[in-house]
Amino acid sequence: MKILLTGATGFIGSHFARLAISRGHEVTGLIRPGKTPPPQLQIAWLPGELGGVSVKELAAVRSEVCVHSAWITTPGIYLESPENFRFRDDSLQFLRRVTEAGAKHIVGLGTCIEYQISGQPLAEDRTPIAPATTYAKCKNELRVAMEMEAKLKGFSFAWGRVFYPYGPGEHPSRLCSSIIQKLDRGEKVFLRTPQSRKDYIYIDDLAAALLAVVERKCSGAINLGTGVGVSVREIARTIAQMMGREELVGEANPPEADPLGDVVADAGKLKQLGWKPKIGLSEGVAKLLER
């Protein structure tokens, strides 16, 4: 299968690209002009911006499917960044050109926080959509627009709602990596919301889930999560035990309230594709510590 991939140098995109290549797919990554491709990622490259690459350039790639993972994701910035509006608008124009160039299947990456968070497992066909951040609103608006485009123009469109990926290559400010760095420096790790539960998915498992959506030519929304919630306390203690720094982990008493609360996927639809997670928390943390 010929796959056009945006965000190929990013955390999710790079892991997806490596897995897709190992499965025999041909991957072409969109890359900003002038940016040096990472040498460890042996794929074809198409120089261009989301808002500027032409239909002619896209047609030359002859992609059957486009996986769109490019977006702003910098921790501490991305949730309310005005860049979200640019990514929304440029993404819509780009994906329109991709379908004009002949791609018949589009897979976009959304976010679990498009949902109305209620403490219950989040299900594609039952949980209301109520995005509360600029990031989630812009993602959801792109989904709605692309669903309309798909109906009008006859291509298939899937929307993968990503939960909480972690693993080698993640941003150093993400939860696991930030805890590792502090403990490595001998600093105290203070957990403000120790009971907060999120659906953490190891990056290789996420890449496999995304590839399953591509290979099965799924359409509609699908959760990309494990279906299992893990608390901040469990993550911190697991890391601390492996590093021999358990005495450095402390908790707020009383704990602060997490504005989101529990965010866990109903992973039934994904598991119907034959996917299941292979890397549990302990193994995932161990792999992260190796890097």
At 123-174, the pLDDT tens digits run 999 999 999 999 999 999 999 999 999 999 999 999 999 999 999 999 999 9
Q: Which residues is 222 bridged to in the sheet?
A: 160
Give dist(CA 115, CA 138) in Å, integer. Answer: 13
Q: How confident is the model at residue 271 (pLDDT cuts 50, 70, 90)?
A: very high
Average pLDDT, rounded, for the chain: 96
CATH topology of domain 167-198+228-263+278-290: UDP-galactose 4-epimerase; domain 1 (3.90.25)
pLDDT of residue 119: 86
CB 69 within 8 A of CB 203: no
pLDDT of residue 38: 87
Of the candidates 252, 263, 254, the residue with the CA atom closest to the CA atom of residue 189: 252
Summarised one tens digit per residue, pLDDT across range 68-85 is 999 999 999 999 999 999
pLDDT of residue 171: 94
Residues 6+ apart with CB under 8 A from 253: none
Confirm whether 2-165+200-224 and 167-198+228-263+278-290 share one CATH topology.
no
pLDDT of residue 286: 96
pTM value? 0.96
- 253 secondary structure, DSSP code: S
pLDDT of residue 40: 85
Mean pLDDT of 195-203: 97
pLDDT of residue 203: 98
Summarised one tens digit per residue, pLDDT across range 83-104 is 999 999 999 999 999 999 999 9
Residues 6+ apart with CB under 8 A from 232: 175, 191, 193, 194, 195, 196, 198
The architecture in CATH of the region 2-165+200-224 reads 3-Layer(aba) Sandwich (3.40)
- Residue 244 confidence (pLDDT) above 90: yes
Domain spans, the chain: 2-165+200-224, 167-198+228-263+278-290
Q: Which residues is 202 bridged to in the sheet?
A: 166
Helix (H, G, I), strand (E, B) or coil at 72: coil
pLDDT of residue 34: 87
Give dist(CA 42, CA 14) in Å, integer. Answer: 10
Judged by average pLDDT, the poorest of 17-31, 34-48, 211-225 is 34-48
pLDDT of residue 25: 97
Mean pLDDT of 190-199: 95
Residues 6+ apart with CB under 8 A from 275: 208, 209, 212
Structure tokens at 10: 């990013």
